[in-house]
């Protein structure tokens, strides 16, 4: 239930922001410099439900689609929701630390949460094959655990933190499938 709800809300809010109401995106940008002084606390989470453009939304959605639903079936909805939100928050902590002195910096997107889901999926399904675009060759999941470079406006500055949370903490609570 959690994975489907997150997916639907993200698509709905992002598409509304991209095509009908751009103010949705502007209001939910995570701006590290203004986070504490203007008390924009909600943006640490809501920035993950808006995307910079259709390609950004599509890439995150496809990755989420292939990894979130199988993972949720194994760890359960409450743990999946916690993983997703912790991944999102952790990526924004990294972004905050890196850009807290830059008044012009703003970011958005669910890349940190998507990475948490991706890497947790690799932990739970290490023998699966995955494809990394644009390489059209399936590779073992364990081979794909190097840090993924961030995009300028996507909140991936905390990718390493998110990777560590999803791969180091969650196996301890792993239940048998």
CATH number at residue 132: 1.20.1540.10
Report pLDDT digits (tens) over 114-157: 999 998 998 899 888 887 777 777 777 766 655 444 444 444 44
The residue length of the chain stands at 177
Tell me how many domains the chain contains: 1
User: What are the residues whose beta carbons fall under 8 Å from the beta carbon of 13, sequence distance 6 or more?
Assistant: 24, 49, 50
Interatomic CA distance for residues 127 and 39, integer angstroms = 44
Cβ 132 vs Cβ 122: under 8 Å: no
pLDDT at 25 over 50: yes
Q: Where residue 82 falls among pLDDT bands split at 50, 70, 90? A: very high
Interatomic CA distance for residues 144 and 160, integer angstroms = 14
Burial of 12 (0-12, 13-18, 19+ CB in 10 A): exposed
Q: What is the pTM of this model?
A: 0.79
Domain span at residue 130 reads 2-173
Region 31-55 average pLDDT: 95
């Amino acid at each position: 239930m959690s994975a489907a709800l997150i997916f639907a809300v993200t698509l709905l809010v992002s598409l509304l922001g991209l095509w009908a109401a751009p103010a949705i995106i502007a209001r939910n940008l995570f701006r590290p410099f203004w986070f504490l002084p203007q008390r924009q606390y909600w943006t640490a989470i809501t920035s993950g439900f808006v995307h910079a453009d259709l390609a950004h939304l599509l890439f995150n959605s496809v990755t989420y689609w292939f990894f979130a639903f199988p993972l949720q079936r194994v760890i359960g909805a409450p743990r999946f929701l916690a993983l997703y939100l912790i991944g999102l928050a952790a990526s924004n902590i990294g972004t905050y630390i890196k850009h807290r002195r830059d008044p012009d910096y703003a970011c958005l997107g669910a890349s940190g949460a998507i990475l948490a889901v991706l890497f947790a999926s690799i932990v739970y399904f290490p023998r699966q094959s995955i494809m990394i675009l644009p390489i059209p060759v399936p590779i073992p999941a364990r081979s794909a655990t190097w840090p993924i470079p961030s995009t300028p406006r996507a909140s991936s500055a905390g990718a390493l933190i998110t990777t560590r949370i999803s791969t180091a903490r969650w196996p301890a609570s792993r239940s048998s499938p």
